[in-house]
Chains A and B, each alone.
Chain A
Amino acid sequence: MSDKEVKNLEEIFEARIARDEKIEPKDWMPEKYRKTHIRQMSQHAHSEIVGMLPEGNWISRAPSLRRKVALLAKVQDEAGHGLYLYSACETLGISREELYDQLHSGKAKYSSIFNYPTVTWADMGAIGWLVDGAAIINQVPLCSTSYGPYARAMIRVCKEESFHQRQGFEIMLKLSQGTQEQKDMAQDALNRWWWPSLMMLGPTDAESVHTEQSMKWKLKRKSNDELRQQFIDQTVPQADLLGLTIPDPDLKFNEETGHYDFGEIDWEEFWQVVKGHGPCNKKRMKDRVGAWERGAWVRDAAMAYADKKEARAKKRKTA
């Protein structure tokens, strides 16, 4: 194809998206569209998969059967979300194997928030409430993104995600109505998860390199700073309800703007964690790669069994 022809196709393509038409796997698409989607969708899938690890830590130690079944169901949902997203990503012509390789070799990123440790039960509450809360704000606009398989996967994800946040808030609520020790535990979890949750919504607009292109392709509907403000505005009253204090002395409602003003985010910390120097980066990757490697014989055995069964069936037919 000549450059001119490609340019022409690109214009038709951009016009389709501008008209809110969906792009489906076999449609022509610019290479950059394909690559950007593989990057974002796989990052998203990896985050769901790695996101199971910090919570898996508490399944066997949940304080009651009610909490345990809820946490199990949540972690199972995350596995499911990872699977929806991986298979949506594969429609762009990359194999599951390659996607896993990218995660395991460290070539692909996942959400940095999962590189923080879960040290008390209250962390299960704070993660559901804040981390899933921030994730929902990020994800809801993706239900109408331009790439059909991604949009469809996100609709399923969002439908299921709301229980995650509610169960987290309920944990925080119970703790904050409990003994002084339980209240302290809830406050401590909020203290540790607040700032990383704000960072989850991505670098400030001035630093965000992909925003403009992503807006055009409807991979993004609002800027990182707008989403962050939305998250803060909706979360502060919830913290008040819990009787907990958000660890930001500069947090204050601004009558003029109708929004909360907030303090400086430590972006140095954010970039350190992204670059692999967070408290749990190494552990998460070790656990993930270990689980994958330890499961290899199971995958091979299942395949060998399937092949043998098929060969036997064929033999019976010809006999």
Chain B
Amino acid sequence: MSKKNWPLWEVFVRSKNGLEHRHCGSLHAADAEMAMSNARDVYTRRSEGVSIWVVESSNILASNPENNGEMFEPAADKVYRHPTFYDLPDEVKHM
């Protein structure tokens, strides 16, 4: 029986230059270096990426869905942040 378990890491892969890294899953590894080589084997066996980030999961702070109201609802009544809120005559071009 192992004395201490390998921690959990989150894996982010950039599929090609010009695109952002996207979360694609997680894995266990003893350290960052091993997380990187495991990520390569587990998540890019078919040329799915050109760049990988690994982050230890315990370093991620996630918002709590129970607080979604106070977190995200204030944005809902701020329609003036969208271009369509402003009335302009049809003759105005390029705006």
Residues in A lying within 8 Å of B, measured CB to CB: 24, 26-28, 73, 76-77, 80, 83-84, 87-88, 90, 95-97, 152-153, 156, 160, 296, 299-300, 302-303, 305-306, 309-310
Contacts and interface: CB of A to CB of B under 8 A. Distances in A.
- Chain B interface category by residue count: 20 to 34
Given A83-B42, A160-B46, A303 B3 contact: yes
Contact of B30 (A73, A87, A305): A305
A28 B66 contact: yes
Given A27-B65, A80-B42, A309 B31 contact: yes
A300 B34 contact: no
Given A28-B66, A76-B45, A153-B25, A306 B31 contact: yes
* 9 nearest A-B residue pairs (beta carbon): A306-B31, A302-B30, A306-B30, A87-B26, A303-B30, A299-B2, A303-B4, A27-B65, A26-B65
Contacts of B30: 299, 302-303, 305-306
Contacts of A160: 45-46
B44 to A, nearest CB: 10
Contacts of A87: 8, 25-28
Contacts of B5: 95-97, 303
B68 to A, nearest CB: 10
Given A160-B46, A302-B30, 20 more contacts: A24-B65, A77-B45, A84-B25, A96-B5, A160-B45, A296-B1, A296-B2, A299-B30, A300-B2, A302-B6, A302-B31, A302-B34, A303-B2, A303-B3, A303-B4, A303-B6, A305-B31, A306-B34, A309-B31, A310-B31
A27 B67 CA distance: 11
B62 A26 contact: yes
B64 interface: yes
Interface in B16-30: 25-28, 30
A83 B27 contact: yes
A155 B9 CA distance: 21
Nearest to A27: B65
B5 to A, nearest CB: 6
Contacts of A28: 65-66
B71 to A, nearest CB: 12
11 contacts: A28-B65, A28-B66, A73-B45, A80-B41, A87-B25, A87-B27, A87-B28, A88-B25, A96-B28, A160-B45, A303-B5
B36 to A, nearest CB: 13
Contacts of B34: 302, 306
Contacts of B1: 296
A143 to B, nearest CB: 15
Contacts of A95: 5
Given A28-B66, A76-B45, A80-B42, A299 B6 contact: yes
Contact of B3 (A73, A77, A300): A300
A305 B33 CA distance: 12
A27 B64 CA distance: 8
Contacts of B27: 83, 87
Nearest to B63: A26
A302 B4 CA distance: 10
A265 to B, nearest CB: 36
A153 B31 CA distance: 24
